[in-house]
Amino acid sequence: MASASVRDVAAAAGVSVGTVSNVLNRPEKVTPGTLGRVQEAIERLGFVRNDAARQLRGGRSRSIGLIVLNAGNPFFADLARGAEERAAEAGLSVLVGNSDENATREAAYLDLFEQQRVRGVLISPLGDTGPQLQRLRGRGIPSVLVDRQTENSTFSSVAVDDVAGGYLAVSHLVAGGRSRIAFVGGPLVLRQVADRLEGGYRAAAERGSATLEVIETGSLTVTEGRAVGERIRALPPSERPDGIFAANDLLAMGLLQALNMSGDVTVPRDIGLIGYDDIAFASAAVVPLSSIKQPSALIGYTAVDLLLQESDGGDAFEHGQIVFQPELVPRESTATGA
Amino acid sequence: MASASVRDVAAAAGVSVGTVSNVLNRPEKVTPGTLGRVQEAIERLGFVRNDAARQLRGGRSRSIGLIVLNAGNPFFADLARGAEERAAEAGLSVLVGNSDENATREAAYLDLFEQQRVRGVLISPLGDTGPQLQRLRGRGIPSVLVDRQTENSTFSSVAVDDVAGGYLAVSHLVAGGRSRIAFVGGPLVLRQVADRLEGGYRAAAERGSATLEVIETGSLTVTEGRAVGERIRALPPSERPDGIFAANDLLAMGLLQALNMSGDVTVPRDIGLIGYDDIAFASAAVVPLSSIKQPSALIGYTAVDLLLQESDGGDAFEHGQIVFQPELVPRESTATGA
DNA sequence: CCGCGAGAATGAATCGATTCATTCCGCCGC
DNA sequence: GCGGCGGAATGAATCGATTCATTCTCGCGG
């Protein structure tokens, strides 16, 4: 009952194990007659290669690891899809781990991937994972940072210019006549969040008229957004912002829900709201949500591409820092009366 | 440079490989002194177990596979989270594959999992995967069907009573005074879809006044929903349904977008709309979406639980068919003028 | 008829962790 | 002082696919 091994197949077909392996990996080196007999035996015995043995001998696995901040965020689902596509082209598969913005979980996945000797790791890092990644590198496992620029040119990275994105977002709000801007997002240790904020500051500074206040959140979820929205709604009009830049669409949708719950404060009449990522649901929101669009699938695709280059490229390889430009997608949530 | 192996660690610590293995797996059988020395060597050499070798010898891997219909659907993200949670409790990890409602991809993932000799497979099957799953079973890889009931008691399954859910949905529409109901969903080979429709039929039949028309779609996505919405909006009022039951929330959100785009037809005034799954975005939709709620994370958690029972349970194991009950979550999209 | 070379097939060695039958060691009781 | 006992440590064997140096087989030219 135990699964058949190459040895069993060899016996059944009356050839040696070496030949079976050739049939599997270099069929052109095998005589048609022999090839047929072996294939028939494989079929008959229901033989399926054991990946563990393969990898043990070969030294490298056939999968790459991907660690995302939040699997529930469609942005990452799209990114994963792109990564998977490029990996499939190379005959590899992608293992997705969800760190849930939790350093412990992130470390656990890195450990897991290290044990599995994955071909490489794509990671949307939480905090400072440098040391861990260096360590993987030492073991021959390259990594690519996704959705995160890095000053550190010892790693490849694929990201979107978050500072530019933040700038776009706040500029758009200000251009619409909003001047008391609030940035909602966090934790600020997330580089993406910090950069978006940075861009926002620049835009606000440029137009002297606008102020930018920061409301830091514990995570980037709908629930968190809703909580902040409740608080804002309860503020007296004078202290209330008239423009909100949310660090991602999940937060923005939560904010929207809470703000428009009662009629006293509404988006976009009293508050202009813009999110980030332009997830598919953004346009279907209570009030269609303005957002900053990122080429999510392309990021994943490109990241795997870089990874493969590094993995195969040998010494000649140069780490690449790829930066895409974000794009403003204005919708009703930032519409002005005019 | 090459990674250190147990052999290296053994040499460094002046013990045998067997002892190193004991330190790793049964530390209590090792003298404190020896244990310390070995651990120090492990630390110093940066030794990390090679999972492939472990699995090759042990025969079974430390991960379980999960195949979902659509990774972009938050319902599956939640389900995966639940699965992951239970797996982690057992020291296992979950590999997520996205079939994207595509039989070829589904088969490819099953092959991959078979090669990896995963501990078991959780699958939200597309069509008839019975034979493939039987085959895995023959190799000692049990599977559990998720989000899908099965008449076939040779497999365990965890699902929600979709017929009941469909019944709830259509009853709710009819109770709100809607009588020309359209069911939007597909492909109908998806059991979940067929069952929801079946439930809808029952509800319609029960209230003789209502008619139920089926608009079959190619997939369960926002885009597809939008397309159908456009078509419905273009219909003359007399042919237009006054209630729509969408097979999932993604479709529903797409429909909503398209329908409410211009002011002539609106939800819920002209058409009552209800979705399925109650994803987090449903309540943040243009018009908060009524839906049928499923305990998504619990489904995943329970499925892994069943899987582990089957995997460890030996002969005494009985396949369980667990069915949860869905719940109606009425929101504004089905509100009636009254 | 013999020798040679190209191509096909062989099978022992290998990867690294785990297992388990065996050996080793120290100590207690008689 | 010695037999015996139990706990600790040992290391050869094992899992299954792959590799590669070696052997085998033919066909053809001389």
Domain check: are A152 and A192 in the same one? no
Q: What are phi and psi of B65, to 5 degrees?
A: -95, 145
pLDDT of residue B190: 92
d(Cα B294, Cα B279) in Å, to the nearest integer? 9
Contact B146, B153 (CB under 8 A): no
The residue lying closest to nucleotide C17, measuring its CA against C1', is B54
Domain check: are B289 and B166 in the same one? yes
Distance, Å, B15 CA → D6 C1':
21
pLDDT of residue B8: 95
Please tell me whether any atom of strand C lies within 7 Å of the Cβ of B30: no
d(Cα B174, Cα B169) in Å, to the nearest integer? 9
Q: Which of A163, A227, A239, A238 shows the shortest CA–CA distance to A201? A: A163
User: Which residue of chain A is at minimal alpha-carbon distance from B95?
Assistant: A95
Residue A1 placed within a domain: no
Strand duo A321-324 + A272-274: pairing: unpaired
Average of per-residue pLDDT across A145-157: 84
Does the pLDDT of residue A267 top 70, yes or no? yes
d(Cα A166, Cα A291) in Å, to the nearest integer? 10
pLDDT of residue A317: 76
Q: Which nucleotides along chain D are within 7 A of a protein C-beta?
A: 8-21
Q: Identify which has the larger pLDDT, B337 or A235.
A: A235
Cβ separation of A281 and B222 shorter than 8 Å?
yes
Domain check: are B16 and B71 in the same one? no
Query: Considering only residues 86 to 125 of chain B, which have any Cβ-Cβ distance to chain A shorter than 8 Å?
Result: 93, 95-98, 111-112, 114-117
Query: Considering only residues 26 to 85 of chain B, which have any Cβ-Cβ distance to chain A shorter than 8 Å?
Result: 46, 48-53, 55-56, 61, 71-72, 74, 77-78, 80-81, 84
The whole-model pTM stands at 0.89
pLDDT of residue A264: 80
- Considering only CB atoms, which chain A residues are within 8 Å of B85? none
Confidence of residue A315 (pLDDT cuts 50, 70, 90): low
Domain check: are A213 and A285 in the same one? yes
The alpha-carbon gap from B171 to the nearest alpha carbon of chain A, in Å, equals 26
Domain that holds residue A185: 162-294+329-334
Confidence of residue A172 (pLDDT cuts 50, 70, 90): very high
pLDDT of residue B128: 80
The closest nt to B56, taking CA to C1', is D15
* Radius of gyration from C-alpha coordinates of chain B: 25
Does the pLDDT of residue A118 top 70, yes or no? yes
Does the pLDDT of residue A257 top 90, yes or no? no
Within chain B, which residues score under 70 in pLDDT? 1-2, 314-316, 337-338
Does the pLDDT of residue A224 top 60, yes or no? yes
Q: Which of B166, B215, B146 shows the shortest CA–CA distance to B186? A: B215
Distance, Å, A23 CA → D23 C1':
20
- What percentage of chain A reaches a pLDDT higher than 70? 98
Query: Considering only residues 295 to 324 of chain B, which have any Cβ-Cβ distance to chain A shorter than 8 Å?
Result: none
Q: Which of A185, A173, A137, A162 shows the shortest CA–CA distance to A271? A: A173
d(Cα A337, Cα A324) in Å, to the nearest integer? 33
Domain check: are B177 and B241 in the same one? yes
The H or E element containing residue B232 is helix B222-234
Residue B54 placed within a domain: no
pLDDT in tens, B253-291: 999 988 887 778 888 999 999 999 999 888 888 788 999
Residue B57 placed within a domain: no
**B240 shares contact with chain A (CB less than 8 Å):** no
pLDDT in tens, A181-217: 999 999 999 999 999 999 999 999 998 889 999 999 9
Average of per-residue pLDDT across A144-148: 91
Reduced to 3 states, what is the DSSP secondary structure of residue A163? helix
Domain check: are B300 and B153 in the same one? yes
Contacts of B271 (CB under 8 A, 6+ apart): B178, B232, B240, B241, B242, B243, B244, B259, B265
pLDDT of residue B239: 92
Lowest mean pLDDT of A150-159, A269-278, A326-335, B227-236, name the range. Answer: A150-159
Please tell me whether any atom of strand C lies within 7 Å of the Cβ of A59: yes
Distance, Å, B111 CA → C13 C1':
30
pLDDT of residue A316: 67
List beta partners, residue A243: A181, A272
Contact A313, A179 (CB under 8 A): no
Strand duo B272-274 + B243-246: pairing: parallel
Nearest residue, CB atoms, A80 vs list B71, B135, B222: B71
Residue A57 placed within a domain: no
Residue A54 placed within a domain: no
Domain check: are A190 and A290 in the same one? yes
How many separate domains does chain A show?
Answer: 3
Cβ separation of B72 and A81 shorter than 8 Å?
yes
Residue B191 placed within a domain: yes
Q: Which of B280, B21, B65, B9 shows the shortest CA–CA distance to A51? A: B65
Domain check: are A97 and A12 in the same one? no
Lowest mean pLDDT of A77-81, A286-290, B197-201, B212-216, name the range. Answer: A286-290
pLDDT in tens, B163-188: 999 999 999 999 999 999 999 999 99
pLDDT of residue B2: 65
Residue B90 placed within a domain: yes
Contacts of B321 (CB under 8 A, 6+ apart): B149, B150, B153, B156, B157, B159
Domain check: are A112 and A154 in the same one? yes
Q: What are phi and psi of B139, to 5 degrees?
A: -95, 5
pLDDT of residue B285: 82
Domain check: are B247 and B213 in the same one? yes
Q: Any idea which residue has 């709201």 for tokens? A: A273
Cβ separation of A281 and B283 shorter than 8 Å?
no
Confidence of residue A145 (pLDDT cuts 50, 70, 90): very high
User: Which residue of chain B is at minimal alpha-carbon distance from A48?
Assistant: B115
Alpha helices for B90-221 (secondary structure H)? 103-115, 130-138, 162-175, 191-206
Domain check: are A181 and A262 in the same one? yes
Please tell me whether any atom of strand C lies within 7 Å of the Cβ of B102: no
DSSP string covering B137-166:
HHTT--EEEES---S-TTSEEEEE-HHHHH
Domain check: are A85 and A109 in the same one? yes
The alpha-carbon gap from B2 to the nearest alpha carbon of chain A, in Å, equals 7
Q: CA distances (Å), B137 to each of A1, A326, B32, B120, B278, in order? A: 11, 48, 43, 9, 34
CATH code (residue B14): 1.10.260.40
Q: What are phi and psi of A227, to 5 degrees?
A: -60, -45
pLDDT of residue B1: 52
Alpha helices for chain A (secondary structure H)? 6-13, 17-25, 32-45, 51-58, 74-89, 103-115, 130-138, 162-175, 191-206, 222-234, 249-259, 296-313
Q: Is the dihedral of CA B147, B151, B152, B158 positive or negative?
A: positive
Exposed e or buried b per residue across A48-65, where buried means at least 16 C-beta atoms within 10 angstroms of its C-beta: bbbbbbbbbeeeebbbbb
Residue B21: is it exposed, middle or buried by C-beta count within 10 angstroms (0-12/13-18/19+)? middle
Nearest residue, CB atoms, B284 vs list A81, A117, A253: A253
pLDDT of residue A153: 73
Residue A231 placed within a domain: yes
CATH code (residue A249): 3.40.50.2300
Please tell me whether any atom of strand C lies within 7 Å of the Cβ of A34: yes
pLDDT of residue A34: 93
pLDDT of residue A50: 95
